[in-house]
């Protein structure tokens, strides 16, 4: 396996890594040195390669809002076209990892390479090593919103190994798809469904989660990526929490340490959770979640059947929010509409026993009906052995 950049990018690979190990296969997870702790904490063998790239610095000024994806019109002020460019952060991460990834692959000689979205080093390495590749999606495939010119982006990376851009299959020989319809968009190339099994990193179950809540519980979170790229101030988290707390609910706030600033004087019905508290532990007790629209958060809530309100700030979050709305299992508010009354009323509707709750239950059942990671292992073993299935 190969992962890049940020720990939440890796989390979607973990259950498959467990399944492969449990089936007796040798699993190594190759990434930048800074990823050693998240990988090893998950019980998988980390292979630190290449150099670290500062995530916030690499994407500074390159992560911005986009217009509504399903409606025409001018993008909002400060919007950026979603794109992977030859001088962008995605390529910088690939450049820092690629040479050592291929060198390690030539020594260890894997039979299969698995990677997650926007990992450009891995598909180039698979082509250079001549091994089958598998793209494991996080959720709905947001790459459909991106502009990527293979010649300028992949060409220089592939040329290091005597390859052309056309020799590199970004979607691999197979795509593993955890997003059931209508959450998913049409995919490029062969795909196989796989159940989304939530993993959100190290976790400790606090005493207050030993039993059910006394009143409806609403989780408020801003994910990990926005803080990681220094954009945690784009969302007025204190205002969001206070708006939700106006309802007769218990509010549980799950945030990164740097997002806790300014959240010290909160209403009495707000619980500021101590880390580490993984979403997979708190969401089964929740009536709703308010979140930023990251793929991991969105899919974790779907897997638990929890209605969602998304407050998207950047491009992939807008995409995930609109795919969620297509399922009926939640809704979203644009930043300019996420004022107190509108936000409070949207959450109140989700907490009630309305259509969003029924739709969330349908999506939960669809996810649970998909083949588990263990059930897709034989197909991956056959692909590694070049056995037709």
pLDDT digits (tens, 9 = 90+) for 155-201: 999 999 999 999 999 999 999 999 999 999 999 889 999 999 999 99
SS3 46: strand
Phi (first) and psi of residue 309, to 5 degrees = -115, 120
pLDDT tens-digit profile of 330-344? 999 987 777 789 999
Helix orientation angle between 355-369 and 340-351, rounded to the nearest 10 degrees:
60
CA distance 228 to 308: 23
CA distance 251 to 218: 5
| Nearest residue to 157 (alpha-carbon basis) of 63, 110, 82, 87 | 87
Mark 78-110 as b/e (b = at least 16 C-beta within 10 Å). eeeebebebeebbbbbbbbbbbbbbebbeeeeb
| Nearest residue to 47 (alpha-carbon basis) of 99, 104, 127 | 104
Residue 248 DSSP class: S
pLDDT, mean of residues 82-104? 93
Q: Is the pLDDT score of 35 beyond 50?
A: yes
pLDDT the model gives residue 78: 55
What are the residues facing 134 on neighbouring strands? 114, 174
Q: Is the pLDDT score of 125 beyond 90?
A: yes
Phi (first) and psi of residue 271, to 5 degrees = -110, 120
How does DSSP assign 249-312, residue by residue? SEEEEE--GGGGTT-SS--TTEEEPPSP--HHHHGGG-SEEEE---HHHHHHHHHTT--EEE--
CA distance 24 to 378: 11
SS3 61: coil
pLDDT tens-digit profile of 279-292? 999 999 999 999 99
Its pTM surpasses 0.75:
yes
Q: How confident is the model at residue 377 (pLDDT cuts 50, 70, 90)?
A: very high
| Nearest residue to 194 (alpha-carbon basis) of 15, 385, 2 | 15
CA distance 152 to 214: 57
Q: Is the pLDDT score of 251 beyond 50?
A: yes
Domains of the chain: 7-196+370-384 (3.40.50.2000), 207-369 (3.40.50.2000)
Q: Decide: 371 and 197 in contact? Cβ < 8 Å.
A: no
| Nearest residue to 237 (alpha-carbon basis) of 258, 268, 213 | 258
Q: Is the pLDDT score of 143 beyond 50?
A: yes
First to last CA, the chain: 22
pLDDT the model gives residue 73: 52
275 vs 121, higher pLDDT? 121
Q: Which CA distances in Å does 156 have to 50, 53, 120, 206, 280?
A: 18, 19, 12, 50, 40
How does DSSP assign 325-345, residue by residue? HHHTSEEE--GGG--HHHHHH
Q: How confident is the model at residue 82 (pLDDT cuts 50, 70, 90)?
A: confident
Question: E strand or H helix at 209, and its extent?
Answer: none
How does DSSP assign 373-386, residue by residue? HHHHHHHHHHHHTT
| Nearest residue to 310 (alpha-carbon basis) of 328, 282, 333, 341 | 333
Length of the chain equals: 389
SS3 40: helix
Q: Is the pLDDT score of 65 beyond 80?
A: no
User: Among 119-128, 258-267, 365-374, which stretch is predicted with the lowest mean pLDDT?
Assistant: 258-267
């Amino acid at each position: 396996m190969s992962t890049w950049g940020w720990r939440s990018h890796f989390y979607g690979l973990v259950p498959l890594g467990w399944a492969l190990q449990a089936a007796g296969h040798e699993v190594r997870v190759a990434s930048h040195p800074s990823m050693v702790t998240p990988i090893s904490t998950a019980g998988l063998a980390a292979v630190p390669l290449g150099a670290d790239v500062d995530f916030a610095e690499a994407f500074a000024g390159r992560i911005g809002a986009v217009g509504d994806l399903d409606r025409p019109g001018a993008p909002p002020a400060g919007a950026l076209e979603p794109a992977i460019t030859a001088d962008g952060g995605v390529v910088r991460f690939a450049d820092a990892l690629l040479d050592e990834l291929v060198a390690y692959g030539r020594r260890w000689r894997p039979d299969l390479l698995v990677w997650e979205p926007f990992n450009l080093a891995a598909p180039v390495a698979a082509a250079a090593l001549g091994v089958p590749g598998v793209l494991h999606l996080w959720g709905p495939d947001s790459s459909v919103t991106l502009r990527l010119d293979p010649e300028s982006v992949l060409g220089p990376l592939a040329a290091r190994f005597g390859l052309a851009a056309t020799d590199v299959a970004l979607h691999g020989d197979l795509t593993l798809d955890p997003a059931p319809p209508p959450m998913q968009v049409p995919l490029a190339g062969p795909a196989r469904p796989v159940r989304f099994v939530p993993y959100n990193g190290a976790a400790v179950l606090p005493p207050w989660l030993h039993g059910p809540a006394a009143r409806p519980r609403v989780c408020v979170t801003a994910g990990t990526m926005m803080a990681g790229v220094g954009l945690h101030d784009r969302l007025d988290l204190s205002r969001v929490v206070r708006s939700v707390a106006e309802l007769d609910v218990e509010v549980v706030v799950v945030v990164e340490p740097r997002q806790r600033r300014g959240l010290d004087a909160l209403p009495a019905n707000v619980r500021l959770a101590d880390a580490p508290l993984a979403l997979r532990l708190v969401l089964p007790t929740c009536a709703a979640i308010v979140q930023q629209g990251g793929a991991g958060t969105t899919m974790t809530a779907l897997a638990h059947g929890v209605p969602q309100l998304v407050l998207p700030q950047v491009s992939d979050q807008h995409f995930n929010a609109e795919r969620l709305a297509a399922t009926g299992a939640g809704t979203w508010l644009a930043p300019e509409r996420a004022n107190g009354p509108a936000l409070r009323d949207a959450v109140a509707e989700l907490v009630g026993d309305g259509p969003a709750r029924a739709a969330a239950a349908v999506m939960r059942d669809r996810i649970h009906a998909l083949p588990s990671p263990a059930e897709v292992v034989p197909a991956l073993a056959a692909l590694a052995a070049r056995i037709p299935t």
